Amino acid sequence: MNGKWQGSTRIEIAKRLLASAVDSLRGFPNLEIGLRIYGHQSPVTSTYQDCNDTKLEVPFGPDNHDLAKATIKNVKAKGTTPIALSLEAAAGDFPNKDSRNVIILITDGVEACGKDPCKIAMALRAKGINVKPFVIGLGIDLAYIHHFDCIGEFHDVQNEISFKN
């Protein structure tokens, strides 16, 4: 996420766009949002990557838009990409499993920790966990898009305007 893209870093673009998305959700009745982040706590070194680097930073709650935005503003991309573990953990974050629960996964890469996000997504569906992931790819190599088809609805974002749409 620290790589350059569209004149900025991917993480800075992702933060701007996610903050804008959070603002767009204001005013919806009975809506709770939460924020789980991965790859932000432990730096990758030549000998180590923390595949457990995923954390619910803002628990679900009503009217916590400002807290989510403040948290987003301070995120630093440091670590690896544990998508499968993050999906599995995110499914447990929702306070009401019977509600319409949506995950928005923003990534610039594929699973980096040897787990299979497709298997996790299928297992969640098999358990009856009503989760609808939207995967937002920031400058992902088109050769890797098939890695996300099984997770949810994939959107290949080529620039900030296409993200807003």
Long-range pairs for 44-53 at CB < 8 Å and ≥24 separation?
44/78, 44/79, 44/80, 49/79, 49/80, 49/112, 49/113, 50/79, 50/80, 51/80, 51/82, 51/85, 51/112, 51/113, 51/114, 51/115, 52/82, 52/85, 53/79, 53/80, 53/82
The pLDDT of residue 4 is 54
* CA distance linking residue 88 with residue 92, whole number of Å: 7
Per the CB < 8 A criterion, the answer to whether 31 and 67 are in contact is no
The pLDDT value recorded for residue 128 is 74
What confidence score (pLDDT) does residue 131 get? 65
Q: Which residue has the higher pLDDT, 108 or 66?
A: 66
For residues 61 and 48, what is the distance between their CA atoms, to the nearest angstrom? Answer: 35
Model confidence at 24, pLDDT cuts 50, 70, 90, reads very high
For residue 2, pLDDT over 60 is answered with no
Of residues 68 and 97, more confidence is placed in 68
pLDDT (0 to 100) of residue 59: 96
Q: Which residues contact 83 (CB under 8 A, 6 or more apart)?
A: 38, 105, 107, 110, 111, 112, 115, 117, 151
pLDDT tens digits, one per residue of 102-153: 888 888 788 999 999 999 988 888 877 766 667 777 667 777 777 777 888 7
- Range with top average pLDDT, 7-11, 133-137, 156-160: 7-11
Q: Quick: pLDDT tens for 30-55.
A: 899 999 999 999 999 999 999 999 99
Most confident of 76-80, 141-145, 159-163: 76-80
For 4-164, CATH number? 3.40.50.410
Residue 148 to residues 27, 41, 42, 126, Cα–Cα distance (Å): 31, 24, 25, 18
Residue 9: how many other CB atoms lie within 10 Å: 16
What is the pTM for the complete model shown?
A: 0.83
Which pLDDT belongs to residue 26?
94
More confident residue, 4 or 56: 56
Domain spans of the chain, in order of start: 4-164
For residues 135 and 118, the answer to whether their CB atoms sit within 8 Å is: no
